[in-house]
């Protein structure tokens, strides 16, 4: 049963968090400030007022454009705000407690990491390491994995992909897997325990293979140097990985 009022609060909190995270996704890879100074239009530089910063509502009211210069507002803002609102509403709607807050934080960070990796093949330590920390702390209220399983999961998840990355570099003489992927899998191990990792990794690899096959099907060039955002697929694979652990089908039990 979903709890309406907590779901509403979670949705509002998610939209607010999404507003910040969308700005982070757009500006951080460019080396632009995120938390410093006041928000401004990327087109004309006008400092945005409170009315311009209402998540989802302001962009819809302004039809996706700055009301001063008419410059288009990047649609990523609305998509991330909506995604985080949905995550927050579901997390707190089904679990109106500390565990639900943990799920909301996990979902918001995974969404941010998924988009950053898809766009820039980048999984920053400033997000993956806090994600692991949350798995060892608030994650205790969100999943049933014991602390020992979490420690093993974090270590095994990180070391498994680290060995793959180092082995590939040694054999091929170039980078084939970023260490951000290893840190993300380790963070997921800290949330779900080591038992969930095989499923998450298998599903992520399968999604990556499907993405490559889809690219080939539409005529895109694919070769040994084609880069695949494994972190994006790891983030997506964490969702059914959690459901299987909750439903007691043997993963993460």
pLDDT tens column, 73-86? 788 989 999 999 99
CB 39 within 8 A of CB 46: no
* Residue 40, strand partner residues: 47
- Mean pLDDT, rounded, for 102-128: 96
* pLDDT category of residue 104 using cuts at 50, 70 and 90: very high
Residues 183 and 22: their CA atoms lie apart, in Å, by 22
Name the token pair of 99: 């565990």
Query: What is the pLDDT, as a whole number, of residue 242?
Result: 62
CA–centroid distance for 28 within its chain: 15
Q: Does the structure show a pLDDT above 50 at 253?
A: no
* pLDDT category of residue 243 using cuts at 50, 70 and 90: low
Q: Does the structure show a pLDDT above 90 at 45?
A: no
Q: Give the DSSP letter of residue 65.
A: B
Per-domain residue ranges of the chain? 1-96, 126-253
Query: What is the pLDDT, as a whole number, of residue 251?
Result: 39
Measuring CA to CA, how many Å separate 118 from each of 111, 122, 199, 208? 11, 8, 21, 11
Query: What is the pLDDT, as a whole number, of residue 143?
Result: 87
- Mean pLDDT, rounded, for 144-155: 95
* The overall pTM is greater than 0.95: no
* pLDDT category of residue 63 using cuts at 50, 70 and 90: low
What is the dihedral sign for C-alpha 213, 218, 222, 228?
negative
- Mean pLDDT, rounded, for 226-251: 73
* Ramachandran category for residue 164: left, alpha or beta (phi over 0 → left; psi -120 to 50 → alpha): alpha
pLDDT tens column, 18-35? 999 998 998 898 877 665
Residues 165 and 186: their CA atoms lie apart, in Å, by 14
pLDDT tens column, 164-221? 999 988 888 778 788 999 999 999 999 999 999 999 999 999 999 999 899 888 888 7
CB 15 within 8 A of CB 85: yes
Measuring CA to CA, how many Å separate 179 from each of 75, 102, 119, 138, 216? 30, 25, 17, 25, 27
Residues 252 and 98: their CA atoms lie apart, in Å, by 20
Query: What is the pLDDT, as a whole number, of residue 87?
Result: 94
Higher-scoring residue by pLDDT: 250, 182: 182
Q: Give the DSSP letter of residue 108.
A: H
Q: Does the structure show a pLDDT above 70 at 69?
A: no
Total count of residues recorded for the chain: 253
Name the token pair of 151: 């420690």
Residues 192 and 110: their CA atoms lie apart, in Å, by 14
Mean of all residue pLDDT scores within the chain: 85
CB 193 within 8 A of CB 150: yes
Residues 38 and 74: their CA atoms lie apart, in Å, by 18
């Amino acid at each position: 049963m979903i709890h309406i009022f907590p779901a509403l609060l979670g949705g509002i909190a998610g939209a607010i968090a999404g507003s910040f995270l969308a700005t982070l996704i757009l500006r951080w890879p460019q080396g632009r400030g995120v938390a410093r100074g006041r928000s401004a239009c990327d087109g004309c530089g006008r400092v945005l007022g409170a009315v311009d910063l209402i998540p989802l509502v302001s962009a819809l009211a302004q039809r996706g454009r700055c009301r001063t210069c008419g410059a288009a507002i990047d649609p990523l803002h609305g998509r991330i705000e909506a995604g985080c609102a949905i995550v927050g509403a579901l997390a707190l709607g089904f679990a109106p407690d500390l565990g639900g807050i943990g799920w909301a934080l996990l979902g918001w960070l995974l969404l941010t990491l998924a988009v950053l990796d898809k766009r820039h093949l980048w999984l920053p330590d400033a997000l993956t390491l806090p994600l692991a920390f949350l798995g060892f702390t608030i994650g205790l209220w969100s999943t049933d994995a014991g602390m020992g399983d979490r420690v093993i999961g974090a270590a095994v998840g990180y070391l498994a992909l680290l060995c793959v990355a180092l082995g590939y570099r040694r054999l091929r003489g170039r980078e084939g897997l970023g260490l951000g992927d290893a840190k993300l899998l380790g963070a997921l191990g800290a949330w779900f325990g080591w038992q969930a990792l095989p499923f998450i990794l298998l599903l992520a690899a399968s999604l990556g293979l499907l993405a490559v096959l889809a690219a080939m099907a539409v005529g895109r060039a694919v070769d040994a140097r084609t880069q695949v955002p494994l972190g994006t697929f790891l983030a997506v694979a964490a969702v059914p990985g959690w459901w299987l652990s909750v439903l007691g089908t043997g993963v993460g039990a």
